[in-house]
Chain A
């Protein structure tokens, strides 16, 4: 709409960001005077809900925080509690957890690449409009997502929220034959992912590079899921236990989610770009080759190219799932005992959209005394505002409609998961 002395565009609903939120940008000429991203953060409510519960309930409770990445919440919770209790898991269980995470990455990345973000690049309002012209692409996305979902179901059980993951292992582990059934679908998915890398690399990317501090896990031998030290391109190299010493959270008036900064430095970026840039050498050869063939090599500093990086990670997740299934032998026992014991444990795992930090303090009866959860979107929140401040200034010459569209596209680069369920992102740009 057009107002007196300036223009304001308001986009009432934008359904392609999971969760709910609003973006407000105020401009005077080329100068951006204000950027506010408002998000709602249910993990903080869950922190209170977890207090007084037995640690064994945490995987099930935290899986309910997010409908898109329940595995991430389960994995961070379980690893943090296992550290608090001093539990060592069986190597077979460790492998199964990697497969579990592969399933979630395949589901989440397929959804984001094809159904949430591609419509932006191709100029469609949404995936429904896109499907009219690109039916095979959308059908491929649905099949990929289904394959990811089958992996999660084969390990997690149950409708909606997976329940099989437990402190110490799994309540039930699959037979070797059960996992072998996934192989032919995964072989198709690997080919489809390679095609996704080629396809996304042909999209048109706005010229927007920033000097990010990338933060991701790094493991000595693997592309990271559940383990590793937390590193950055500016020298950070810490254990999860040091996270709260090196990162600060603070409250801003306009959002109920806390914002995060690296202490003494500022905003930082988590997610596919950070992982790719810090762990390229740990990608399997098939994924490295796919990236290099389309000219993608670290450091990738253009946020919009994250759609290609997600496709490379899709290749990785399919290849890794096939590797794990090939090596899998059921463990002697699905899980090790987890006795009640007083302790504090922290863990970081790589959710599809970036690092997810959990800390639990547990008493001698196994009850949770305190819980802290820092989700990836709240860690990216300040970075999103910093980027949009720069990006909106570059869009001053564009019409408000186009500028708003481009800002929405930019926000979706972070694949913000602003909790599960309700889904409104309102984008408002005001120009004086």
Chain B
């Protein structure tokens, strides 16, 4: 299994995926960070059957809302609102579908952000959402709750 945290730490809530990956690493769970750029993502998941991807998204939901999507059937609104990268996560998933190279199992955790100013910190709601996502993924990966260790 591959766990990927995407984003840009310099742009406030856009760092959510990176923060989540780092928290998972601190818990001893292997996780990679990446900018979320299309070719980088497609390269990272090439040949991998099961992928968990974490990224900041903007769908209009309140900041800190956690969305969980199946990459095989990611809804159109998530595609177009997408993450905050040029040719990024949404386009990588779409392109991988066209090119038949989407991982067999791809779960996307989207953390709703609303603050993307350069240099600003992650908003408290997003920080809480990161912890929630970390706990859910850790539970899934380790098969146990890790509430006490967070």
Contacts and interface: CB of A to CB of B under 8 A. Distances in A.
Contacts of B99: 131, 135, 138-139
A243 B27 CA distance: 51
A17 B85 CA distance: 10
Interface in A15-56: 15-19, 42, 45, 49
B40 A42 contact: no
B33 A159 contact: yes
Contacts of A324: none
Contact of B35 (A13, A138, A142, A160): A160
Interface string A127-168: 110011001001100100110010000000001100000000
Interface stretch (B60-68, B86-94, B104-112, B127-135): B86-94
Contact of A421 (B14, B34, B43): B14
Given A142-B42, A422-B84, A42 B94 contact: no
Contact of A160 (B33, B88, B91, B94): B33
B139 interface: no
A251 B35 CA distance: 31
A145 B87 CA distance: 13
A49 B8 CA distance: 17
| A15, A68, A132 interface centre (most CB from chain B within 10 Å) | A15
| B8, B9, B34, B87 interface centre (most CB from chain A within 10 Å) | B87
A296 interface: no
A197 B9 CA distance: 37
B73 to A, nearest CB: 16
Contact of A149 (B10, B14, B39, B119): B39
Nearest to B58: A422
Nearest to A424: B84
B86 A160 contact: no
Nearest to A127: B95
A15 B33 contact: no
Interface residues on B, range: 20 to 34
B11 interface: yes
A195 interface: no
A159 B43 CA distance: 13
B84 A421 contact: yes
Contacts, number: 78
A67 interface: yes
Contacts of A142: 39, 42
Contacts of A13: 80
Nearest to A146: B43
A420 interface: yes
A132 B118 CA distance: 36
Contacts of B119: 45, 49
Interface residues of A, number: 34
Contacts of B10: 42, 64, 420-421
A67 B14 CA distance: 13
A111 interface: yes
B42 A422 contact: no
Contacts of B80: 13
A139 B37 CA distance: 16
B68 to A, nearest CB: 23
A422 B116 contact: yes
B135 to A, nearest CB: 24
A422 B14 contact: yes
Nearest to B43: A146
A135 B87 CA distance: 17
Contacts of A126: 91
A10 interface: no
Nearest to B82: A15
| A17, A116, A127, A421 interface centre (most CB from chain B within 10 Å) | A421
A423 interface: yes
Contacts of B32: 159
B98 interface: yes
B87 A131 contact: no
B53 interface: no
A230 interface: no
A67 B118 contact: no
B86 A131 contact: no
A42 B10 CA distance: 10
Contacts of B84: 421-423
Contacts of A135: 98-99
Given A64-B10, A421-B84, 16 more contacts: A15-B82, A19-B86, A42-B10, A67-B8, A67-B35, A115-B87, A128-B95, A131-B98, A132-B98, A138-B99, A159-B34, A160-B33, A421-B14, A421-B86, A422-B85, A422-B116
Q: What 9 pairs across the A-B complex have the smallest Cβ distances?
A: A145-B39, A423-B86, A421-B8, A131-B98, A18-B86, A422-B84, A128-B94, A42-B118, A67-B35
6 contacts: A116-B87, A149-B40, A160-B34, A420-B10, A421-B116, A422-B84
